[in-house]
Amino acid sequence: MHASGKKSDLALLRKVPCAPLRRLLDNLQEVLLATKLALLFPAVLLAIAARIFHFGQEWVFVLSLIGLVPLAERLSFLTEQVAFYIGPTVGGLLNATFGNVTEVIIAIFALYQGKVVVVKCSLLGSVLSNLLLVLGTSLFFGGLANLGTEQLYDKMQVDVNTGLLILGVLCHSLPLMLRYAVSSGEHAESSWDSGLELSRACSIVMLLAYVAYLFFQLKTHRQLFEPQPQEVEDDGDDSVSQDEAVLGFSSAMIWLGVMTLMTALLSEFVVSTIEAASESWELSVSFISVILIPIVGNAAEHAGAVIFAFKNNLDITLGVSLGSATQISMFVVPLSVLVAWIMGVPMDLDFNLLETGCLFLAILVTAFTLQDGSSHYLKGLLLVFCYIVISLCFFVLRQHGNGSNDDQVGVASKPWRI
C-alpha cells in the first residue's frame, strides 16, 4: 500500500508543469508528509497560535512538547540526507551533533534564563529514558516478536558505550563527593567554588573522551558500529534508513535550518512555560524535566529502536539507545557546563545525591543486563520496571522555587499525596 501510494504521488508530481514548483512540492512531500508523525505537525502551528493569542501557558507547554516530536524525527532524517553527500566520517560527526539537537537547544535556552535545574534534570532524564525506557521497551517487544529466534548483538559496542557512561557518572560523582567531604569536615576546600572548577575541568576531559570515541567509531573501528545491510528490510517504514538520498544537498540544508529554527522556537516555549505547567498540574519541575520532556524528545528514536528490535536487528537498537545516552552524557552535558561558563552561569556536574544515584544505578543495571551478548523479553521488562520506579521516585517529590536554583533539585519539601 505504501509503495503504490508513493508511486501515485510521484506520478501526480510529474504532471506539475513548472519545474521549480514541482521540486518544491516534491520536497514538501518528502520532508513533511513522508512520515507517520506528519499528523502531529499541526501542533507546531497551534503552539505558536496559543503563544500569540495568550492561551493558557500549560496549553502552550503541551502543544510545544507534541510539536517537538515530529520536528526531532525530521531533524534526524535531514541529517541522514546531508550525510549522503558529505561522506561517512563528516556525516557521522553531523549525526552525532544533531542527533540530540532538541536537548541541546532546550539546555541553551534554559541556561540563558538561569534555569539550571531544568538543564540538569532534562539531560539526566534523557540518559535515563534512553537506557531504561527506550532500550527496555525495545528488548521487551523485540523478545516477544522473536520468541523462537536467538537474539544476539555485538558485545563490543555495548562495552565501549557502557565504559564511556561509567566515566561520565564518575565525573558527576566527584563534585558531589567533594561537596559532602568538605561539608563533613574531612577535607578543607581550596576555594569557595572548587566544585565548579572541578566540574569544568571534568567537562573538558569528557569532551576529549567523546572526541576519542568518535574517532574510534568513525575511523579505526567503524565496522563495529555499521549495521549489516542484508538485515535491514525496506518495507516502506519511514523509521528505517534508506540506501540513497531523496533530497538534494541544498534542499536538505535549507530544510535542516528551517527545522532547527522551529525546534528552537518550541524549545523556548517549553522552557518559558514549564513552571506554569508545574503549578497547574501540581507536579514538580524535576518530574516534568526528568520524565515528561525526555519521553517526548526521545519519541522518534524510541519508535525506530522498537522497529529494529522487532526485526531482530539489536545492533541498530543498541546503537540508537546506548549511542544517544552516550552522546548526552559525554557531549551535551559537558558542553552545557562550558556554555554556561561562557554565559557566566554557575552550572556544575553536581546533580545532587538522588539524581546521581539514579544515573549510576541505571548504568549499572544496563551494563549487567547486556553483558552476555544475548537478549530476551524479560531483560527488557526489568529495564522498564527500573524506569517506572525511578519515575515514581521523582513523582513523589515536591520542589521549592521556580527551577532556577540548582541547590534544590532533589529537595522533597512537601510529599505528594497518592
DSSP 311-375: TT-HHHHHHHHHHHHHHIIIIIHHHHHHHHHHHT----S---HHHHHHHHHHHHHHHHHTTTSEE
Task: Please report the pLDDT score of residue 249 as a whole number.
Answer: 84
Q: Any idea which of 92-96, 122-126, 203-207 has the lowest mean pLDDT?
A: 92-96
Spatial CB neighbours of 326, under 8 Å, sequence gap ≥ 6: 161, 164, 165, 168, 210, 213
Q: Any idea which of 69-73, 199-203, 235-239, 366-370 has the lowest mean pLDDT?
A: 235-239
Which has more pLDDT, 390 or 229?
390
Task: Please report the pLDDT score of residue 226 as a whole number.
Answer: 66
Task: Please report the pLDDT score of residue 89 as a whole number.
Answer: 62
Task: Please report the pLDDT score of residue 323 as a whole number.
Answer: 86
Query: Which among 121, 119, 120, 100 has a CA at the least distance from the CA of 110?
Result: 119
Strand ranges (DSSP E) for 139-232? 151-152
Task: Please report the pLDDT score of residue 362 as a whole number.
Answer: 96
Digit-coded pLDDT (tens) for 288-338: 999 988 887 777 778 888 888 888 888 888 888 898 899 999 999 999 999
DSSP state of 227: P
At residue 155, what are phi and psi to the nearest 5 degrees? -70, -25
Q: How far apart are CA 136 and CA 240, in angstroms?
A: 20
CA distance readout (Å), 402 to 188, 232, 407? 32, 47, 12
Q: What is the mean pLDDT of residues 357-365?
A: 96
Task: Please report the pLDDT score of residue 88 as a whole number.
Answer: 63
Q: How confident is the model at residue 19 (pLDDT cuts 50, 70, 90)?
A: low
Task: Please report the pLDDT score of residue 248 as a whole number.
Answer: 82
Q: Is the pLDDT of residue 157 over 50?
A: yes
State what percent of residues in the chain have pLDDT above 70. 80
Q: How confident is the model at residue 90 (pLDDT cuts 50, 70, 90)?
A: low
For the chain, give the mean pLDDT. Answer: 81
Rg (alpha carbons) of the chain, rounded to whole number: 22
Which has more pLDDT, 248 or 386?
386
Q: Is the pLDDT of residue 111 over 90?
A: yes
Q: Any idea which of 58-67, 74-83, 214-223, 232-241 has the lowest mean pLDDT?
A: 232-241
Q: How far apart are CA 175 and CA 341, in angstroms?
A: 16
Q: Which residues pair with 374 in a beta bridge?
A: 152
Q: What is the mean pLDDT of residues 238-260?
A: 75
Q: Any idea which of 1-10, 114-123, 144-153, 361-370 has the lowest mean pLDDT?
A: 1-10
Q: What is the mean pLDDT of residues 126-141?
A: 94
Are 135 and 366 within 8 A, CB to CB?
yes
Q: Is the pLDDT of residue 1 over 50?
A: no
Task: Please report the pLDDT score of residue 233 as a whole number.
Answer: 44
Q: What is the mean pLDDT of residues 353-359?
A: 94
Task: Please report the pLDDT score of residue 212 as a whole number.
Answer: 94
